[in-house]
Structure 1
Amino acid sequence: MVGEQGGRDEFISEGFHYWSKKDSFRKHMELEKSNYEIRLLATICSCRFLLKNALPFRGHDEMEKSNNKGLFIEVLSLIREDNEKIFKVTLENAPKNEKLTSPTIKKDIVDCFSKEIIKSICDEIGKDMFAILVDESRNVSKKEQMVIVLRYVDRLGIVKERFIGIVRMLDTSSLTLKAVIDTIFSNNNLSMA
């Protein structure tokens, strides 16, 4: 008799409102959200330090027993040494699927920093004149790539050159190069005019 085995159809027909521990669940969710925010801020802080100092993120072996886990893990470990709140929710104390130390997470954070930096460069240029420097070459794995640099004069009269990015190219025809440059310009509110 399957219908008589344990439980009621509370979630099916009557809904969630009879559950006696909904406040406990709400408190648990708030605590998890707070822990996630602490973990995320520590990860962002570690990334910011490494980016600001042009340091590599990864080590040879990032396993917990390794002596050289890489600068990202080492900086995160240093941040948490004197902060009990961060210590309780990061690295080995974090849920296994939510450590926020994967290469994908770090790459997403770096991409966010990159977008903010490019936006500030474009805001500094504003409607003033600038030049674009483009160079195309192959990398070690024989894939075509294009480097884009903007050159402009700031409000103090200082000539600045700012690296905007490296774009992987399928081919190096002039139409493809122009299309990529146009996309970068439109994404950053820049105009050839």
Structure 2
Amino acid sequence: MQLTKSLLLACGLAMVATAATASDMAPIKPVAHVDLPRFMGSWYVIASIPSFVEKKAYNAIETYTLQPDGRIGTSFRYRNSSFDNPVKTIHSTGFVTPNTNNAVWGVQLIWPIKAQYLVAYLDDNYSETIIARDKRDYVWIMARTPTIPSADYDTLVARVKQLGYTVEDIRKVPQAWPETGK
């Protein structure tokens, strides 16, 4: 019984320490500027520390569409648990945070909650990006192609680690194209 209480206490302290560490970290610095029209379009999710919806995503793609009013229509398309399962789509809206050079957004799935969406890395060709959050709870490594070279992947994971994330939590998203399923 004493061992169980000690184990529970140790686990509880570890959870508090982890939460404190994330909140004690400096905010993530976004990229200097995002050219929104160039950023729009489809991005394949190569890997992520996933939200609950994405934990078993296959062929995940995030697509952005700039709306006339400046908002960003977002569409997350995936198959759950298998390449053979039906396509699911989740729509949300992005709102660029003023004075961030388009690099920080609030993304709203359910009103009135807006989740932070921070462009932490974007290569010069707009072909690879890292989307992060100051809470360091979720992160997305995305590319314009469904696969990237191993060296690029390793470099992007190293960047995620430099941002203060636990990279052991990263899940590679299975991608198989062209799709032939339902």
* TM-score (ref. length: structure 1): 0.24
Larger Rg: 1
Q: Which has the higher helix share?
A: 1
